[in-house]
């Protein structure tokens, strides 16, 4: 087997795996959308904490769809030896790689603005749905208990909320599980918001996160190099 044929076969197999992974993520995203409680029961507290910051179902569906496109372009492009599809594959992976680098830089440098943005999005939902939506309330309770936190920023996120207006107390997590959790006790408890706690948890596991990110980046660079190699060698055939 020649070098070109070997690289071509590896390209097909690699992108077939990407295609199947994309289909799996797409299926999981649809599953979370349709039956979120089952997802939480299987993946536990961490999944519920993530759901407070991002809508996991839409993220999984978006990533799955992108992986399906990438896998198809790479696999079919290599199989048919299509320069057009190989160039499209290279371009899509390059755009994703640049976007990932940009997001990483923004996440590291602009943590403050990210917190402000999340506050504007999440806090109104917290005021409106906590104590009303059973699943939403359970997700937050699990998160606040797991990370020993209260709200997104602190206990004041529950001011003027449905929960406070009807119960006249804050969630027990805001007072280190003491009752009654009123303004005075919540202020004295100094329980941090869940955003800071989750962020600290991510920083604690920064090595593992960085290793995964580096591995993904290496695979993307390798994929771009292989696709460009095939693209250039097609001119010689």
Residue 178, domain CATH: 1.10.1450.10
- C-beta separation of 114 from 54 below 8 A: no
Residue 29 sits in the same domain as residue 68: yes
92 and 185 fall within a common domain: no
Q: What's the token pair of residue 111?
A: 């943590």
Confidence of residue 156 (pLDDT cuts 50, 70, 90): very high
Statement to judge: residues 25 and 89 lie in one domain: yes
How many domains is the chain partitioned into structurally? 2
Same domain, 214 and 142: no
- Residue 180 clears pLDDT 80, i.e. is over it: yes
Does 95 or 106 have the greater pLDDT score?
A: 95
pLDDT tier for residue 45 given thresholds of 50, 70 and 90: very low
Domain that holds residue 13: 3-109+207-234
The contacts of residue 103 (CB under 8 Å, 6+ apart) are: none
DSSP designation for 236:
T
- Stretch 34-42: mean pLDDT: 60
pTM, to two decimals: 0.59
- For residue 187, what pLDDT band results from cuts at 50, 70 and 90? very high
Place of tokens 């190989």: 86
* Mean pLDDT of the residues in the chain: 80
Mark whether 31 and 82 lie in a shared domain: yes
């Amino acid at each position: 087997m020649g070098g070109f044929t070997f690289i071509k076969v590896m390209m097909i197999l690699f992108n077939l795996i990407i295609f199947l992974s994309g289909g799996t993520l797409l299926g999981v995203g649809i599953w979370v959308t349709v039956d979120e409680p089952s997802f939480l029961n299987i993946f536990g507290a961490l999944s519920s904490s993530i759901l407070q910051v991002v809508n996991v179902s839409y993220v999984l569906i978006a990533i799955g769809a992108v992986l399906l496109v990438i896998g198809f372009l790479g696999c079919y492009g290599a199989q048919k030896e299509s320069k057009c599809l190989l160039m499209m594959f290279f371009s899509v992976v390059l755009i994703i790689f640049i976007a990932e680098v940009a997001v990483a830089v923004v996440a590291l440098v602009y943590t403050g603005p990210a917190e402000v943005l999340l506050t504007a999005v999440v806090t109104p939902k917290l005021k409106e749905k906590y104590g009303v939506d059973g699943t939403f309330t359970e997700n937050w309770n699990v998160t606040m208990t797991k990370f020993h936190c209260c709200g997104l920023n602190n206990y004041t996120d529950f001011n003027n909320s449905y929960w406070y207006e009807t119960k006249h107390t804050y969630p027990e997590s805001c007072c280190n599980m003491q009752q009654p959790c009123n303004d005075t006790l919540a202020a004295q408890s100094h329980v941090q918001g869940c955003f800071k706690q989750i962020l600290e948890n991510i920083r604690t596991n920064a090595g593992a996160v960085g290793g995964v990110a580096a591995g993904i980046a290496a695979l993307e660079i390798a994929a771009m190099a292989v696709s460009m190699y095939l693209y250039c060698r097609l001119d010689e055939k």
